[in-house]
Amino acid sequence: MARPPAVELRRRNRAAMLEQLHRHGPQTRAELTEALGLNRSTIATIASDLAESGHLQETTGRSTGSAGRPSTLVECVPKALAVAAIEIRADRVRFALIGLGGEVLERAEAALEAGAAAPEVAAAAAGLVGPSGAEAVAAVPGLVDAGTVAHSTELGWTDRDVAADLAAATGREWRVVDTATAAAVGEWSRGDAHEATKLLYLHGGRGLTAGLVVEGRAQRGGSIQLGHIVVEPNGRECACGLRGCLEAEMEAFGYAEDIEDATVAAGMGDAAARDALRRSGEDLGRALGAVVTATGPDEILFGGWLRELYLSAAAPVRSALAGTTLPHLRSRLRLRTPVLGDEGALTGAAETGFAALIDQMR
């Protein structure tokens, strides 16, 4: 049965206020009035609603204006609503319980045996997570769709229903996003990429993946297998069965340290190292040309060890991208490095959970 319009409106306003405080931190009622475009009495009603439900509290905070009178701040209660986030890597599972407003309430990690199968990884996750958190979200490196990892070079998994593995081990439901998409959501919500409408995040781990988010939201189909875009039709054989995949061509640069070593060597006049960096930059730029043409992002972030490659070989990346992308797609494109570093994927996994929780309140 449809809810009456007034009830509907009140729910929507509550969700909007909670989202505003969650994303932007403590604010005065006057600031909320302006940000949400609601009148003062509505703000007061909604704030006391949310205080009653335990989601927010009012505190005497910073002083404002020349009078120096402390103003009352409205802020989230972190423990009122939390999301359990995990990030699965080849060698470990990391867990964070993140509260409303973005505060990290708990943190833990467990080491994994090399080549651990999905049920073992899920069991390790279960040991960390427990029952806390209103939503549980996992970030997994690879091509992910609707809870299933279609392919992960890093984990060696193919067509694995990771959501089901995690549910069986923990007795609760899970959302699964790929690591690159999670990091993109993290950089958009808690980093400095919030101006990007379509944000493409490139993740360099033991495989190369990418995630496209629109207005900071994970999209079904936004998980991209960057590493298996063919850049050399007669190139090296790839583990996936194709030839000349980006991942196979860039094999020599599996880790950030390799890039750093090559950069140092190139700087000291090592021609082979300089050539290798340039070639890898060009291969990456060409693969990106295909992704940019297909998806039309306005910002690209180079994450994981691709950050080091981009910092060492920005010119070849840019020129190869320029040679493979339409000018109108290129002109508005910003290329940058992420600011959250290693925390991006966990942060973004949690934000994906919060987006779902706040949507449910509307």
Cα dihedral 15, 73, 193, 307, rounded to 10, equals -120
CB of residue 233 to Zn ion, shortest distance in Å? 13
CB of residue 309 to Zn ion, shortest distance in Å? 18
Could you tell me which stretch among 33-41, 77-85, 244-252, 350-358 binds Zn ion (CB under 5 A)?
Answer: 244-252
240 contacts Zn ion (rule: CB under 5 A): yes
121 contacts Zn ion (rule: CB under 5 A): no
Closest CA to 217 of 358, 342, 330: 358
Residue 102 to residue 108: CA distance in whole angstroms: 17
Find out whether 313 and 280 touch, Cβ atoms under 8 Å. yes
66/234 with CB nearer Zn ion: 234
CB of residue 172 to Zn ion, shortest distance in Å? 34
CB of residue 153 to Zn ion, shortest distance in Å? 8
DSSP string, 267-313: HTT-HHHHHHHHHHHHHHHHHHHHHHHHH--SEEEEEETHHHHHHHS
CB of residue 85 to Zn ion, shortest distance in Å? 29
Residues 210-229 touching Zn ion, rule: CB under 5 A, are 228
Q: How many CA atoms lie within 13 A of 189 on its CB side?
A: 32
CB of residue 42 to Zn ion, shortest distance in Å? 55
Residues whose CB falls within 8 Å of the CB of residue 338, separated by 6 or more in sequence, listed in order: 183, 187, 191, 193, 201, 301, 302, 303, 307, 344
13/225 with CB nearer Zn ion: 225
206/228 with CB nearer Zn ion: 228
238 contacts Zn ion (rule: CB under 5 A): yes
Contact with Zn ion (CB under 5 A) among 118, 245, 287, 346: 245
- Which residues is 59 bridged to in the sheet? 73
Contact with Zn ion (CB under 5 A) among 242, 290, 329, 339: 242
- Cβ burial, residue 94 (10 Å; 0-12/13-18/19+): buried
Phi, psi of 135 (to 5 degrees): -135, 150
147/304 with CB nearer Zn ion: 304
242/265 with CB nearer Zn ion: 242
104/242 with CB nearer Zn ion: 242
Which residues form the interface with Zn ion (CB under 5 A)? Answer: 228, 238, 240, 242, 245
